[in-house]
Amino acid sequence: MTLELGVYSFGNTPRTLDGGYGPTAQAVRDVLEAVKLAEEVGLDFFGIGEHHTPSMPLSSPTSMVTAAAASTERIRLGTTVTVLSTDEPLRVFQQLATAAAIAPGRVEAVAGRGSSAITFSLFDEDEDRYDELFSSKFELLLAANRQERLTWNGPHRGRPLLDAVIVPRPEVPLKIWLGSGGSPGSVSRAVELGVPLFLGILGGTPQHWAQYGHAYREAWTQVGHPADGADIAVAVHGFVGADNAAAKATYLEHELRMFATGAAEVGRPPMSPPGRDRQMEPGGMVFAGSADEVADRILHLHGLLGHTRQILQMDVGGMPHATYLKAIELLGTQVLPQVRAELGA
């Protein structure tokens, strides 16, 4: 089985010498530079997430995917995730279809409900309809991907679509994943709709997450979907450095800063998850360390979960951009060859 490796980012605003924020526009430019490097070192995928905060300012992932599509030739690109509960699914499809016209066969989408309430007030949506909005909008996104002329109605719309023309059309339908933080309901929904499953993972154990993979594939088989469509991707925190201990220490410092800053920006109490250093060791789900250790741990998770893609968020907490770029280089030139050699890809 093949396993794609890649990177994802929510943006990482540079810090000034006094600890304040530099320009959020620079975070956008830095991500596009990282995408080009990821392609140069042979990585398979680069994902663009959605946040709306000064420290992680990539608020328009479809725009970023389009920009990256125009500046690359091979690497696959996608939103990871589009917060669909508070977005307009037809516009999301049209924007991604535009990117796919620039980069045929290389553009995907992950749609999720979102990890915070910030977008509901920002875009004037009712947070109490959290799940209803996502369910209705996700079904419309899938319908738009299937057909050019669309008659459709759902609870998030004030009026039905009647033979609406949805253009442009990608030459190949977009691959659209359902994003989940690991709820059983998301597994069931992905199976019901016949879509691949994207797991956003912040902690736990490989054995814990393997249970979700087993449940998804078992249910997938029971309803009669084609076996080769049951793809699972995982998005994790991680970092690659030349020295194992130093890499973990570097990432832990910036990750803890990210948690604390991110909580403050959305009005939550300061957050410092317990045991983050243990999550960076074998048995955890933060993939930080030397190239050899990160490769071994990715292969171990793959043996349990059988996932087809793993992507790492490495640019966290104001990490210096040069440090981030070096980690991407090591992921592509040292981790990826080991994984491919072991899997015979």
More confident residue, 216 or 124: 216
Q: CA-to-CA distance for 235 and 47, rounded, in angstroms?
A: 9
Written as six digits, the tokens of 268 are 């939550």
How sure is the predictor about 118, in pLDDT bands with cuts at 50, 70 and 90?
A: confident
The pLDDT mean for the chain works out to 95
Q: What is the pLDDT of residue 19?
A: 87
For residue 265, which of 13, 81, 9 has the smallest C-alpha distance?
13
Nearest to 189 by CA among 344, 84, 100: 84
Write down the pTM of the prediction.
0.96
How far lies 285's CA from each of 128, 259, 282, in Å? 32, 16, 8
Helix (H) or strand (E) holding 310: strand 309-313
Lowest-pLDDT range of 81-95, 176-190, 268-282, 328-342? 268-282
Instruction: Say if residues 140 and 90 touch (Cβ distance below 8 Å).
Output: yes
Pairing relationship of beta strands 287-290 and 309-313 according to DSSP bridges: unpaired
Q: What letter would DSSP give residue 332?
A: I
| Contact between residue 109 and residue 96 where contact means Cβ atoms under 8 Å apart | yes
**Tens digit of pLDDT for each residue in 186-224?**
999 999 999 999 999 999 999 999 999 999 999 999 999
- In a 3-state reduction of DSSP, which class is residue 90? helix
pLDDT at 128 over 90: no
Beta-sheet pairing, 232-241 with 309-313: parallel
Residue 130: which pLDDT band, with cuts at 50, 70 and 90? confident
Is 4-343 in CATH node 3.20.20.30? Answer: yes
Is pLDDT above 70 for 239? yes
Mean pLDDT over 322-345 rounds to 96
